[in-house]
Protein backbone atom coordinates (compact mmCIF):
# COMPACT_ATOMS: atom_id res chain seq x y z
CA UNK A 1 0.00 0.00 0.00
CA UNK A 2 1.27 3.38 -0.95
CA UNK A 3 -0.29 5.42 1.88
CA UNK A 4 0.21 2.87 4.65
CA UNK A 5 1.96 4.31 7.74
CA UNK A 6 5.53 3.25 8.25
CA UNK A 7 8.08 4.01 10.97
CA UNK A 8 10.28 5.83 8.44
CA UNK A 9 7.43 8.18 7.53
CA UNK A 10 6.62 8.81 11.19
CA UNK A 11 10.24 9.57 12.05
CA UNK A 12 10.41 12.24 9.33
CA UNK A 13 8.24 14.46 11.52
CA UNK A 14 11.19 14.76 13.91
CA UNK A 15 13.68 15.61 11.15
CA UNK A 16 14.52 19.33 11.59
CA UNK A 17 16.05 19.75 8.14
CA UNK A 18 14.23 21.68 5.43
CA UNK A 19 11.61 23.13 7.77
CA UNK A 20 10.05 26.49 6.97
CA UNK A 21 9.66 29.18 9.66
CA UNK A 22 5.89 28.71 9.65
CA UNK A 23 6.38 25.03 10.43
CA UNK A 24 8.72 25.87 13.32
CA UNK A 25 6.11 28.30 14.62
CA UNK A 26 3.44 25.62 14.37
CA UNK A 27 5.60 23.07 16.22
CA UNK A 28 6.49 25.65 18.88
CA UNK A 29 2.81 26.52 19.33
CA UNK A 30 1.87 22.87 19.81
CA UNK A 31 4.69 22.23 22.30
CA UNK A 32 3.78 25.28 24.39
CA UNK A 33 0.10 24.28 24.29
CA UNK A 34 0.93 20.82 25.64
CA UNK A 35 3.14 22.34 28.35
CA UNK A 36 0.49 24.84 29.41
CA UNK A 37 -2.16 22.10 29.52
CA UNK A 38 0.03 19.94 31.75
CA UNK A 39 0.68 22.97 33.95
CA UNK A 40 -3.05 23.64 34.27
CA UNK A 41 -3.71 20.10 35.52
CA UNK A 42 -0.81 20.32 38.00
CA UNK A 43 -1.91 23.78 39.12
CA UNK A 44 -5.44 22.59 39.87
CA UNK A 45 -4.03 19.63 41.80
CA UNK A 46 -1.79 21.85 43.92
CA UNK A 47 -4.58 24.33 44.58
CA UNK A 48 -6.84 21.54 45.79
CA UNK A 49 -4.35 20.81 48.59
CA UNK A 50 -4.81 24.34 49.91
CA UNK A 51 -8.30 23.42 51.08
CA UNK A 52 -6.70 21.27 53.80
CA UNK A 53 -6.10 24.23 56.09
CA UNK A 54 -3.44 26.72 57.21
CA UNK A 55 -0.68 24.10 57.50
CA UNK A 56 -1.12 23.15 53.87
CA UNK A 57 -1.02 26.82 52.89
CA UNK A 58 2.22 27.41 54.82
CA UNK A 59 3.91 24.42 53.18
CA UNK A 60 2.64 25.62 49.79
CA UNK A 61 4.22 29.06 50.32
CA UNK A 62 7.52 27.39 51.28
CA UNK A 63 7.34 25.31 48.10
CA UNK A 64 6.64 28.21 45.75
CA UNK A 65 9.59 30.19 47.11
CA UNK A 66 12.04 27.40 46.28
CA UNK A 67 14.40 28.00 43.32
CA UNK A 68 13.20 24.93 41.42
CA UNK A 69 9.58 26.02 41.62
CA UNK A 70 10.47 29.56 40.59
CA UNK A 71 12.30 28.20 37.54
CA UNK A 72 9.21 26.16 36.68
CA UNK A 73 7.10 29.28 37.04
CA UNK A 74 9.44 31.10 34.67
CA UNK A 75 9.01 28.27 32.14
CA UNK A 76 5.22 28.53 32.44
CA UNK A 77 5.33 32.28 31.84
CA UNK A 78 7.73 31.76 28.93
CA UNK A 79 5.39 29.16 27.44
CA UNK A 80 2.43 31.51 27.85
CA UNK A 81 4.22 34.45 26.25
CA UNK A 82 5.52 32.37 23.33
CA UNK A 83 2.15 30.70 22.82
CA UNK A 84 0.36 34.05 22.92
CA UNK A 85 2.66 35.90 20.55
CA UNK A 86 2.74 32.98 18.16
CA UNK A 87 -1.05 32.90 18.36
CA UNK A 88 -1.10 36.49 17.12
CA UNK A 89 0.86 35.38 14.05
CA UNK A 90 -1.54 32.50 13.44
CA UNK A 91 -4.58 34.79 13.71
CA UNK A 92 -3.01 37.28 11.29
CA UNK A 93 -2.28 34.47 8.83
CA UNK A 94 -5.83 33.14 9.19
CA UNK A 95 -7.11 36.51 8.00
CA UNK A 96 -4.58 36.58 5.16
CA UNK A 97 -2.34 39.21 6.79
CA UNK A 98 1.40 38.65 6.52
CA UNK A 99 1.22 35.23 4.93
CA UNK A 100 4.20 36.00 2.68
CA UNK A 101 6.12 37.61 5.56
CA UNK A 102 5.80 34.76 8.06
CA UNK A 103 9.54 34.56 8.57
CA UNK A 104 9.83 38.23 9.52
CA UNK A 105 6.68 38.24 11.65
CA UNK A 106 7.78 35.09 13.50
CA UNK A 107 11.22 36.59 14.13
CA UNK A 108 9.76 39.86 15.43
CA UNK A 109 7.24 38.15 17.69
CA UNK A 110 9.82 35.70 19.06
CA UNK A 111 12.19 38.64 19.73
CA UNK A 112 9.35 40.36 21.62
CA UNK A 113 8.77 37.10 23.49
CA UNK A 114 12.42 36.90 24.52
CA UNK A 115 12.30 40.49 25.74
CA UNK A 116 9.13 39.77 27.73
CA UNK A 117 10.58 36.60 29.24
CA UNK A 118 13.82 38.37 30.14
CA UNK A 119 11.87 41.17 31.81
CA UNK A 120 9.79 38.70 33.80
CA UNK A 121 12.94 36.80 34.85
CA UNK A 122 14.57 40.07 35.92
CA UNK A 123 11.59 41.08 38.04
CA UNK A 124 11.15 37.58 39.43
CA UNK A 125 14.74 36.87 40.42
CA UNK A 126 16.41 40.26 40.91
CA UNK A 127 13.78 42.71 42.13
CA UNK A 128 12.75 42.30 45.76
Confidence check: pLDDT of 21 > 90: no
pLDDT score for 118: 96
pLDDT score for 8: 67
pLDDT in tens, 36-83: 999 999 888 888 887 888 888 888 888 888 888 889 999 999 999 999
Q: Indicate the CATH number for domain 21-126.
A: 1.20.1300.10
Specify the higher pLDDT residue, 48 or 1: 48
Q: In the chain, what are the domain boundaries?
A: 21-126
What whole-number distance in Å separates Cα of residue 106 and Cα of residue 25?
7
- This prediction's pTM: 0.78
Confidence check: pLDDT of 1 > 70: no
Amino acid sequence: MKNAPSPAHWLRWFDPRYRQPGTWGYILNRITAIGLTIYLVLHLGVLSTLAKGPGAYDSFITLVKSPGFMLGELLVVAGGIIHGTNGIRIVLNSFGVGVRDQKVILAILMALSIIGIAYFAYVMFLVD
